[in-house]
Every structure is written in C-alpha cells, then in structure tokens.
C-alpha cells in the first residue's frame, strides 16, 4: 500500500485538517497520520522486517509490508496474537542476524530512559550485517499538541485513539525524543551512516532517522 503522487498532494494541502482529526483512519479521500508514517517508513524498509511497538492489528507488517516481517509489542492490543507479544523489550525473541530492517515507528519515546540503549542494542543484534534501523519521531511541539488533542477527543467523544492510554504509560516514557539523543544512542549501539528523512506531506513536522549496521 503506497500513496500515489495525487494522494500525497492532497495530504500535503489538507495536513492541518488531518492533524486534528485523522489520527488512525483514512477519511474524506485523505490519509490518516498513521497511514502516512507507515507509508514513509515502508519506503526505507529493505526486506524482512521486525516492527517494534507494532500496536493494534500489527498493521505495518500486514498491510504495508505484505506480511514480510514480524510485529512485536508488550500489550495485547486488538488484532494481536501471542506471537506478537513479549514480556519485555530488553530481549527480542529472535536469533542474531535475522532481519533486514528493524522499525521503531512512533515508539522509541515509549522506552523508559534506562531501556533505550538496551532496545537499540537488541535491534543491532537481530539485524543482518548491512541491515538498517528506522526510527520515526515527530517534532517536539507537534508531538505534544497531537497527544493532547487525541486525549481530548477520547475524553469528549468516547473514542479510543490513544493506544498508550489503553496500555497505561509508565514512568520514564516521553512524548518525544530529540534527534540528538536518537543519533547518539544509535551510534552507541553501533549504527553508522545515519541520515534523516522528513515526512514532507506532514509539513516536515515528522521524520525518520535511518542507521545502518556495518557489513562486517
């Protein structure tokens, strides 16, 4: 599932409307913020993929990667099975050198500070040499505003957009992480050739940092 050029143009023009209404579901011929971040992240995936913090329905792997991967989470959201669940992200239940890509889509900020390096080290371990890691993260102000807007929606309208409220956020989780922290931790885990790609149709208020596991 990849957006056409026309779809991207419409999404770009109507971003302000989408930003305060379309969190999870595509509507009115426009893409939701979730569809959009999955679409951008899928462009950077190079093959068999591990999606950490996959969320409800394991959608990234099933709908955007044609099933070519595994989704993993710590909470039994709707649409997940035992295969998608781990007790803790301190160990990823996969052998060394298994995946071509590992994605952290809108979720590295949910790792409490002491666990972030451990999770990135696990990503490095399960990646094949030459594989890549993709970490998406919103602009700090945008992340705070969207989280607050979603919270208000759920309270006033009885919706359930906020998966993190359903799970219950723990101490040490954040609304966002700064690029400087993500880059420093990726380097510490062993990743190199770091690059950044903006999500243009979200007016560059969201982006991903991509790092590579060295070939040898």
Ligand X SMILES: C[S@@+](CC[C@H](N)C(=O)[O-])C[C@H]1O[C@@H](n2cnc3c(N)ncnc32)[C@H](O)[C@@H]1O
* Residue ranges binding ligand X (CB under 6 A): 34, 37, 52-55, 73-75, 89, 105-107, 110-111, 115, 119, 163-164, 167
Smallest gap, in angstroms, from Cβ of residue 115 to ligand X? 6
Nearer to ligand X, 74 or 194 (CB): 74
- For 18, what's the count of Cα atoms within 13 Å in the CB-facing half-sphere? 25
Smallest gap, in angstroms, from Cβ of residue 119 to ligand X? 6
Nearer to ligand X, 55 or 69 (CB): 55
The per-residue b/e assignment along 29-45, b for 16 or more CB within 10 angstroms, e otherwise, is ebbbbbbbbbbbbbebb
Smallest gap, in angstroms, from Cβ of residue 53 to ligand X? 3
Nearer to ligand X, 73 or 132 (CB): 73
DSSP single-letter state for residue 175 = S
Nearer to ligand X, 6 or 81 (CB): 81
How far is 95 from 135, CA to CA, in rounded Å?
A: 21
Q: Which of 82, 180, 84 is nearest to 137 (CA)?
A: 180
Smallest gap, in angstroms, from Cβ of residue 104 to ligand X? 6
Say if CB 205 and CB 142 are below 8 A apart. Answer: yes
């Amino acid at each position: 599932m990849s957006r056409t050029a026309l779809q991207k143009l419409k999404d770009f023009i109507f971003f302000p409307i989408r930003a305060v209404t379309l969190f999870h579901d595509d509507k009115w011929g426009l893409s939701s913020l979730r569809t959009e971040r999955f679409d951008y992240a899928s462009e950077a995936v190079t093959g068999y993929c591990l999606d950490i913090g996959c969320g409800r329905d394991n959608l990234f792997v099933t709908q955007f990667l044609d099933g070519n991967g595994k989704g993993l989470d710590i909470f039994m959201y709707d649409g997940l099975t035992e295969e998608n669940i781990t007790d803790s992200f301190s160990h990823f239940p996969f052998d060394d050198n298994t995946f071509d890509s590992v994605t952290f889509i809108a979720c590295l900020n949910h790792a409490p500070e002491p666990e972030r390096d451990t999770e990135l080290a696990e990503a490095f371990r399960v990646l094949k040499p030459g594989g890549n890691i993709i970490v998406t993260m919103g602009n700090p102000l945008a992340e705070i505003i969207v989280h607050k807007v979603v919270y208000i929606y759920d309270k006033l309208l009885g919706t359930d957009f906020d998966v993190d409220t359903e799970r219950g956020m723990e101490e040490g989780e954040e609304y966002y992480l700064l690029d400087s922290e993500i880059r420093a931790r990726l380097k510490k885990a062993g990743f190199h050739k770091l690059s950044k790609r903006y999500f243009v149709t979200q007016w560059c208020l969201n982006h991903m940092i991509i790092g590579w596991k060295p070939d040898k």
